Structure formats: C-alpha cells, structure tokens
C-alpha cells in the first residue's frame, strides 16, 4: 500500500503522507472488500460528517502524485507472483 495527499481544502498539495485515521479508514475499506481487484486506487476525503470514500478506480487510472512508486511496483510484482505484499 502506498498513498499521497493531493488536495488540502481547495489547494492542490502533493505530499507522501496521510493522516493516520484516513489510512486506517482506507485499510478498513480494503478489508471489507477482499475479493475486489488486487490493485486499485481509493480516493478518500474528509468531510464535516467524517471520512468518506469518494471512488475507487483501476490502477491504470491513478494519479500517483507523491506515492512511493517503487513500493507500488514491488507490490504489484508480488501479487503477480502469487505473493502478497503491503
């Protein structure tokens, strides 16, 4: 798993970081859908009502921003080889 902040309020901000609660929320979404695609993107936002999932997309539709691309490639390689890697 890798991630990137890409919007903070109305400002575009690319940073390789994520709030811990947003990371846990994303992990819960992944665990809730274990038979989903082995590689995909989840967009999460913070609202007045808490964290919300905006959408999921296939990996080839991702904007990688500041995500750790080496970690992403190694994880996809591990999945293709039948090994899980987070």
Residue 79, pLDDT above cutoff 90 = no
- Asked whether the predicted pLDDT for residue 54 surpasses 90, the reply is yes
Range of the domain at 10: 5-80
Coil vs helix vs strand at 35: coil
pLDDT at 85: 56
Domain annotation covers residue 74: yes
- pTM comes to 0.82
Residue 86 lies in a domain: no
Picking from 27, 69, 32, the residue whose alpha carbon sits closest to that of residue 51 is 27
**pLDDT (tens digit, 9 = 90+) per residue, 4-35?**
988 888 889 899 989 999 999 999 999 999 99
Domain count for the chain: 1
In a domain, 53, yes or no: yes
Tell me whether residue 40 is in a domain: yes
The label of the residue with tokens 């993107």 reads 41
Q: Is 85 a member of any domain?
A: no
**Cβ burial, residue 60 (10 Å; 0-12/13-18/19+):** exposed
Residue 65 lies in a domain: yes
Structural contact between residues 73 and 65, judged by C-beta atoms closer than 8 angstroms: no
């Amino acid at each position: 798993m890798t991630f990137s902040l890409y919007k903070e309020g109305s400002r575009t901000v690319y940073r390789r970081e994520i709030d811990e609660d947003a990371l846990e929320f994303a992990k819960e979404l992944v665990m809730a859908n274990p038979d989903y695609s082995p590689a995909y993107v989840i967009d999460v936002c913070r609202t007045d009502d808490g964290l919300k999932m905006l959408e999921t997309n296939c990996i080839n539709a991702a904007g990688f921003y500041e995500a750790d691309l080496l970690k992403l490639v190694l994880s996809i390689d591990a999945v293709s080889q039948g090994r899980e890697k987070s």
